[in-house]
Chains A and B, each alone.
Chain A
Amino acid sequence: MERIILIRGGRVVDPSQGVDDTVDLLLAEGKVARLAQGIDAPEGAEVVDAAGSIVTPGLMDVHVHLREPGGEHKETIASGARAAAAGGFTTICAMPNTDPVIDSPATVGFVAAAGREAGAARVYPLGALSIGQEGERLTEIGELVEAGAVGITDDGNPVMDSGLMRLALDYAQAFEIPVADHCEDLGLSHGGVMNEGVVSARLGLKGKPNASEDVHTVRDLLLAELTGGRIHLQHVSTWYGVQAIRRAKARGVRVTAEATPHHLLLTEDAVDGYRTDAKMNPPLRTNRDVEAVQEGFLDGTLDVLATDHAPHHYDEKEQAFDDAPFGIVGLETALGLVHTHFVRTGKLELSTLVERMSRAPAEAFGLPGGTLEPGAPADVTVFDPQEEWVVDPTEFLSLSRNTPFTGERLTGRPQVTIVGGRVVWRRG
C-alpha cells in the first residue's frame, strides 16, 4: 500500500516546472500531492529528512539490459530493477535482446510482469523491431505496444536493411512509440573489438572505425526525415554522429539521442593492457570524440543520459580480449559519475542534468513521470550531492561487476528512491 510520504527540507530540482528551491514535497496515493514550503506532516505520514539533499523527479534510464530470460547468471529483471533503484533510477527500459528475444506480446508481458513483481524501479520493456532480431520481418508492433512495449529496437543487432528500417519508422508512428537503433554498419565493423585507431594498431586488435557508426547514423536520420517517424539513436560515440544529429534536429527531424557516462568520460586508452572491462560497443573512441559527445550532451543534441547497462558474469570477461563480450554495468555509477565530472566541475547545471535523466527520457519514450507536478506518479530520487564515495563493484546490487570505473572517487550518491509513493530503496 502506498503511504503518505513527506520529503522535507530538500533542494527540489524539477526542470519540468522550472523549480529549483528548498521546498517540501508531499506524496499521497501513489501520486505527487503538493510541492510547497512548510508542509505539516499529515498523520501517519512517513517523513524523509532531505536537508542537504537534492530531490528530483525519479531518474530514468532508457537503455538497460536485464538479461532475463536466458542470461539470469548475469542479471535478472528483479536484480536489475533493484540495482536501478540503488542507482537512483525509478524507471528503466529493458532491451529485448534476451534469449528468447522479446518479440511477442507474451514475452513483452513477461518482462513487464516480472518488473512489477520486483517492486523496485519500474521496468518498461522495449520490443524487438524484427522477429528474432533477425532483421528480416517486422514484429507485431501494435500488439507489442498493447502488451506494454514503449518502443521497438533490435539493439545488439543493428538493423542493416534500410528498407526494413523505413518500414519500422513508418509503421511505428500509429502507436506513438520511437524506434531505437544501435548504429553500426556491420560491413565496416565486422570482427572489430575496439575503436579503430592508434591503440588498435599497437595492440593488434581489429578495430571498428567511426565510419561504421556514422554511415548508419546518417542513414537513420535520413529515413526519419523521409518518414516523419521518431528515431532514438542509442549510445552516440563519434564526433561526426553528434554533428549529424545536431544538423538533423535543426531541420526538424524527430530524433532523440543518448549519451552514456562511459562515452562522455573514457577514451580508447582505457583498453590498453587488453582490459575487457573497457570493451564495449560502440567502442570507446578518441579524445576528439569524447569532447564532441560532451559538447552534444551539454548543448542538448544528445538529450538523454542512458547507461547501456550491460551486465556480464565475471568469467565471461575473464578471457582473452577477442573472446570477452561487449558491455559494462552502469546503473549504480551513472549519477555519481556525471554529477562528479559535469555538475561539480561547473560544466553542467544540476537542473540540466536532471532534465537529461528525467523529463527528456520520459518524453522520448512517452513514459509516465519525469516531473513532480501534482498528479504525476510519486517517483522521486533523493541524493546527497556532497557524499564522497569510491566505486566498489562488490557493493553493487547488480549481479555483475564489470565496470571500468572500479576505484573511481565520486561525489554525489543516491540516498532514497521512491516509486509510486513507496520507498523502494534506501542507503543502509
Chain B
Amino acid sequence: MSPTAPSLGKDLVGLEDLSPEQIRTILDTAEPFKEISERRIKKVPVLRGKTIVNLFMEPSTRTRISFEFAEKRLSADTVNIATSGSSVQKGETLVDTARNLEAMKIDMVVIRHWASGAAAFLAQRIPSNVINAGDGSHEHPTQALLDFLTIRDHLGRIEGLNVCVVGDILHSRVARSNIFGLLKLGAQVGVCGPRTLLPSEIESLGVKVFQRVEEAIAWADVLNVLRLQLERMKGGYVPSLREYNRVYGISTRRLQEASGDRLILHPGPMNRGVEIDSDVADGPHSVILKQVTNGVAVRMAVLYLLAGGAPERAEAAKQGEVA
C-alpha cells in the first residue's frame, strides 16, 4: 500500500462522498484487522483511551454488536445509547443529544437513525468523528464495505463484475451504498424488485433495472438479496409475502435455471422462505456468514482510519503501537 493513500477525513457518512481510492484503502486496511478476531485474545491497543458512543436511534442488533466488537477489540471505551431509555424519548432533539455527548468529551459517534441525512446532520455539528451506521433510506456505508470485502475475498476483484441488488430498493440504505460504492469500484450494478419498491428515476444513479428476478439472476455474478421488511406488505407495496417469494424469491430452482454460479449475499436478518430460500442461504454459494465476520474487520478499519491511523501502519498498530 502506498504511504500516500488518502485518508478518510473526519467522518464516514456515505460512500457517495468517497473516492474509489478511499474505498480501496478501507478494504485494504481491513485485511490486517481480520486476523485479530481469530486470536485467542482478541484485543489490541489501537484505540486505547478513545471514547466511542454508539448512538442507536432505531432498533439494530447485528450492526450495533458488530461495531461494539470492533471497538472493544481495538480497546476503545464504548457507551451504548438506544432510543428507549434515553432523553430522546423525552423529546430531546438530535442536535441537543449530540451536543450533550460532545460536552462529555468523546472522540467518535457511531449513529444509526431512522431519518435520511441524520448522519451528515450530526457530522456537520460536532467535532467528533461520525460514522454512519445507517441513516433512513440513505446509506449504510460499513454494510456495503463489508459486502465489497466479501465479494473481493471470493471472486478476487470487484471491477467488471455484475452485481445485482434484489428487493426493496426504495427503502434500502444498503442498496444505495452498494450502488454508489460498486460503481466507483468499476462494477456494473443492477437492481431488481417490484416496481412499487424501486425509486422513481433509479436509472439516473447509473444502474440497470430488472423487473423479473430470472433476468437479474441470468445477468449477475453476485446477488445481494435484501430483507423484505414485513411493514412493506402492510404498506401495500407487495400484496403478500407468499406472492413476493413466488415472484422475487431466490430459490435453488431459479439459480439452477441460469447457467454458471453466482455469489449470494444477504445483509441480514433473513426472512427464510420470503426473499431467500433456506437451501440457498445455507448453500455452497452463500457467503452470508462471511459477511458478518468481515463486518467486524471493516469496522475496525474504519475506526482506525478515522482515528487518524495511517493505512500502511495498520499491521504495526496491531502489534501494539498506538495509532
Contacts and interface: CB of A to CB of B under 8 A. Distances in A.
Interface in A399-420: none
B199 A201 contact: yes
Contacts of B121: 274, 319-321
Residue among B114, B138, B202, B205 with the highest chain A CB neighbour number at 10 A: B138
B64 interface: no
A207 B199 CA distance: 9
A196 B121 CA distance: 22
B115 A201 contact: no
A321 B114 CA distance: 11
Contact of A198 (B94, B95, B136, B204): B204
A315 B199 CA distance: 31
Interface string B185-215: 0000000000000011110110000000000
Contact of B201 (A201, A206, A318): A201
A202 B204 CA distance: 9
A202 B139 contact: no
A224 B64 CA distance: 56
A204 B173 contact: yes
Contacts of B173: 204
Interface residues of B, number: 25
Contact of A322 (B95, B115, B120, B199): B115
A206 B138 CA distance: 10
Interface string A189-218: 000000011101111111101000000000
Interface in B6-61: 16
A141 B94 CA distance: 43
Interface string B111-123: 0011111101100
B176 interface: yes
B34 to A, nearest CB: 30
A146 interface: no
Given A196-B200, A200-B199, A320 B113 contact: yes
A204 B201 contact: no
B200 A209 contact: yes
B84 to A, nearest CB: 19
B199 A319 contact: no
B143 interface: no
Interface residues of A, number: 21
Contacts of A392: none
A202 B205 contact: yes
A252 interface: no
A191 B146 CA distance: 31
B291 interface: no
Interface in A279-332: 315, 318-323
A323 B116 contact: no
A273 interface: yes
Contacts of A273: 120
Nearest to A207: B200
Contact of A197 (B95, B113, B139, B201): B201
Contact of B116 (A197, A318, A321): A321
Contact of A318 (B95, B115, B139): B95
Contacts of A207: 199-200
Contacts of A201: 199-202, 204-205
B178 interface: no
Contacts of B113: 320
A29 B115 CA distance: 57
A203 B116 contact: yes
Interface in B196-249: 199-202, 204-205
Among A200, A274, A315, A323, residue most surrounded by chain B Cβ atoms (within 10 Å): A274
Given A202-B16, A204-B176, A197 B115 contact: no
Contacts of A204: 116, 135-139, 173, 176
Interface in A14-38: none
B116 to A, nearest CB: 4
B93 interface: yes
Most buried by A among B113, B117, B176, B200: B117
A276 to B, nearest CB: 9
Contact of A319 (B94, B116, B135, B139): B94
Contacts of B16: 202
A164 B94 CA distance: 41
Contacts of B93: 315, 318-319
Contacts of B199: 200-201, 207
A209 B199 CA distance: 11
Contacts of B117: 203, 205, 274, 320-322
Interface string A318-359: 111111000000000000000000000000000000000000
Contacts of A202: 16, 176, 204-205
B139 A320 contact: no
Contacts of A320: 94, 113, 115-118, 121, 136
Contacts of B202: 201
16 contacts: A201-B199, A201-B204, A202-B204, A202-B205, A203-B116, A203-B117, A274-B117, A274-B120, A315-B93, A319-B93, A319-B95, A319-B121, A320-B116, A320-B121, A321-B115, A322-B114
Given A318-B93, A318-B95, 10 more contacts: A196-B201, A197-B200, A203-B117, A205-B138, A319-B93, A319-B95, A320-B116, A321-B116, A321-B117, A322-B114
Interface of B: 16, 93-95, 113-118, 120-121, 135-139, 173, 176, 199-202, 204-205
Interface of A: 196-198, 200-207, 209, 273-274, 315, 318-323
